[in-house]
Amino acid sequence: MKGRRVTPFASLVLISSLPLAPLLLAQNPRSSNPPRQPVPQMSSQANDQAEVRTFSGKITKNNGKYVLEDLASKTPFALDDQKTAKKYDGKSVVVTGSLDTSTNTIHVRKIEAAA
């Protein structure tokens, strides 16, 4: 039996193609496992960092709770910081926070008297 000899060039080609093996195997269309789709992960920080905006209006009491009444649309927005809102009862203010549209509540970061 006569054996075949591998030439140095053939060895070099085989060795240089080894790093490509995982890529070639990953592209096998007969693979029994379908490719996984990345699952978007939402951290609690992403939820907490809803769009921070400023709202202007007047702090009033509505059903025993302090709200920000938008003077232009006459829309009341619930405020989640009742303690700070109480200090501005009856005053025009600018509220910085994020709006939860499902409850129409402003998650207050800051309340300042309007200029």
Residue with tokens 């000899």: 5
| Inside any domain, residue 59 | yes
Q: What is the CATH number of the domain that holds 97?
A: 2.40.50
| Inside any domain, residue 80 | yes
- Using DSSP, state whether 18 is helix, strand or coil: helix
Dihedral sign computed on CA atoms, order 106, 85, 54, 109: negative
The reported pTM is: 0.57
Taking only the tens place, the pLDDT of each residue in 47-94 is 445 799 999 999 999 999 999 999 888 899 999 999 999 999 999 999
| Inside any domain, residue 19 | no
| 80 touches 103 (CB < 8 A) | no
pLDDT at 26 over 50: yes
Domain assignment of residue 72, given as a range: 51-113
| Inside any domain, residue 6 | no
| Inside any domain, residue 91 | yes
Predicted confidence at residue 76, as pLDDT, reads 95
| Inside any domain, residue 10 | no
| Alpha-carbon torsion angle 103, 45, 56, 110, nearest 10 | 120
For the chain, what is the domain count?
A: 1
| Inside any domain, residue 57 | yes
Predicted confidence at residue 50, as pLDDT, reads 77
